[in-house]
Amino acid sequence: MIVTEAFKGWSALIAGGAGGLGGATARRMAELGMSVVVFEPDEKRAIAFAADLGARAVGIAGDHNDEGDVLRAITAARQIGDFRLNVNAAGVAINAPAVADRAGTPHPMATFRDMIDLHLFGPFNVSRLCAAAFAANQPDADGSRGLIVNTASTAAFDGQARQAAYSAGKAAIVGMTTAMARDLADIGVRANAIAPGPILTPRLAAAPDSIKEALTANVAFPKRFGHPEEYATLVEAMVRTPFLNGQTIRLDGALSTPLTSF
């Protein structure tokens, strides 16, 4: 492992840190010399992934919507380093029904709430608590105290059939990013978001071949799925570029999203 001295001593809290995007990010931040808190609902998974990263990583189990769980993860991050980075990349598959079907069955509100809880309320909860922790940091030469990176999606811009709830949550991530950045400017905390297209995480790998073929067929270039490591290196670029603030960056190979039911 090659350690970058510039970030040695930093610590990062990665929500969804043992997943596809989060796991690749946790690994890359460890390679940069950071200590890492792998924050996951499944304790065994969190601990096992952290152990694989090495001595500078710790696994913490918890729900990103639970304030007490998030504060425990923040405490751990502050104990193992100079806590300056939060990446929110948690996500799981949730059944996505139609808004209304031909039989006249409406979209269940409980499913909509679950989707918003997972993809919007959770990331905001972690963001606000991490930002509050960053406020106590010593500023660097730019006055910076920390960086928050949330995960949107191309569905925020090109929502497909059966994606109304998912698209709403991801569009809200885009909508709050610049507002958060401007709001947190007074305490020297940046906020950005990444909007991935088809990234070959385990969840997408399990999708039907017809969906995967439709997605890659509409990627302009390079004509393939994205790699989780490319998400991680975009997080790295955000860390290394202090003037990049309040932005949502699409990571999708110039995808033109087809009309598809997901």
CATH number of the domain within which 183 lies:
3.40.50.720
User: Which residues have a catalytic role annotated?
Assistant: 166
pLDDT at residue 1, rounded to an integer: 43
In angstroms, the CA 143 to CA 35 distance is 22
**CA 253 from centre of chain:** 19
203 inside domain: yes
Close Cβ partners of 31 (under 8 Å, ≥ 6 residues apart):
1, 2, 3, 4
Domain hosting residue 18, numbered range: 5-251
pLDDT at residue 2, rounded to an integer: 47
260 inside domain: no
259 inside domain: no
258 inside domain: no
pLDDT at residue 225, rounded to an integer: 96
262 inside domain: no
Q: Give ∠ CA 130-151-79 in degrees, rounded to 5.
A: 30
In angstroms, the CA 230 to CA 25 distance is 9
205 inside domain: yes
pLDDT at residue 56, rounded to an integer: 95
Q: Please tell me whether residue 97 adopts helix, strand or coil conformation.
A: coil
What is the pLDDT averaged over residues 81-90? 98
30 or 209, higher pLDDT: 30
In angstroms, the CA 211 to CA 161 distance is 13
As a whole number, the mean pLDDT across the chain is: 94
Give me 72's structure tokens: 């425990």
Binning pLDDT at 50, 70 and 90, where does residue 258 land? low
CA atoms within 13 A on the CB side of 48: 7
Q: Is the pLDDT of residue 213 over 90?
A: no
Pairing of β 189-196 and β 82-88: unpaired
Kindly report the pTM of this predicted structure.
0.95
CA atoms within 13 A on the CB side of 213: 3
pLDDT at residue 207, rounded to an integer: 83
Q: How many domains does the chain have?
A: 1
Q: Which of 4-8, 41-45, 63-67, 85-89 has the lowest mean pLDDT?
A: 4-8
pLDDT at residue 87, rounded to an integer: 98
104 inside domain: yes
Helix segments in 117-188, DSSP class H: 122-134, 164-184
51 inside domain: yes
